Structure 1
Amino acid sequence: MAKWGEGDPRWIVEERADATNVNNWHWTERDATNWSSDKLKFLLLGLSVEAEEGKCEVTEVSKVEGEASINNRKGKLIFFYEWNLKAIWTGKNKTSTLGC
């Protein structure tokens, strides 16, 4: 640990009277749950995979539960997320129609 007054010059918060978190040097956290929930629904709904054997398409996203956050420490972004998703899909192969 540095002696008083011999610290890293990047720690400019100590020199500020208002103690502002300049350039997000210290830990900041933002909730991204609503944005990522909407984005997951948007990306999954209508998702289609097609191959020689057949085709599968997501028709409904029935459950999106969880949370997400974006953290910033010393200018580096750190993402935390945990999701539980449930989707309904239909599929067709060469001989029959499938669904779940």
Structure 2
Amino acid sequence: MAKWGEGDPRWIVEQRADATNVNNWHWTERDASNWSLEKLKSLFLAVRAENAEGTCEVTEVSKLDGEASINNRKGKLIFFYEWNIKLAWTGCQREARC
């Protein structure tokens, strides 16, 4: 443990009267749930798989519950997320004339 005044010079928060979180050195957290919700919907609805046997595509995002956040600690980004996802899809075989 460093003695008083011999600490890391990047820890300048104690030198500020307003205790500002300079350069997000200490923990910051931002909610990314709304952005993630829209992004996941658009990505899943664009999924289509096709090969010699047939095709399959996502037709609906039935359930998309959860949350996501972006955290910053000492300049490093940390992502937390938890999603429950239910998709509806259709598919057909080549022989059935899709």
**TM-score for the superposition, normalised by structure 1:** 0.91
2:34 match: 34
How many pairs are equivalent?
97
Q: For structure 1, which runs of at least 5 residues remain unmatched after alignment?
A: none
1:17: how far off? 1.2
Check whether the contact 2:55–2:94 (CA below 8 A) recurs between aligned residues: no
* CA deviation map 1:33-86 (0-9, x unaligned): 111011100111131111111111001101100111100000000000010001
- Over the matched positions of the two proteins, sequence identity in percent amounts to 75
* CA deviation map 1:11-50 (0-9, x unaligned): 0111111111011000001111111011100111131111
Spell out structure 1 runs of 4+ moving beyond 3 A: none
Q: Where do residues 18-97 of structure 1 align in structure 2 (5 Å cutoff)?
A: 18-96=18-96
Partner letter of residue 85 of structure 2?
Answer: L
Partner letter of residue 48 of structure 2?
Answer: S
**TM-score for the superposition, normalised by structure 2:** 0.93
2:5 match: 5
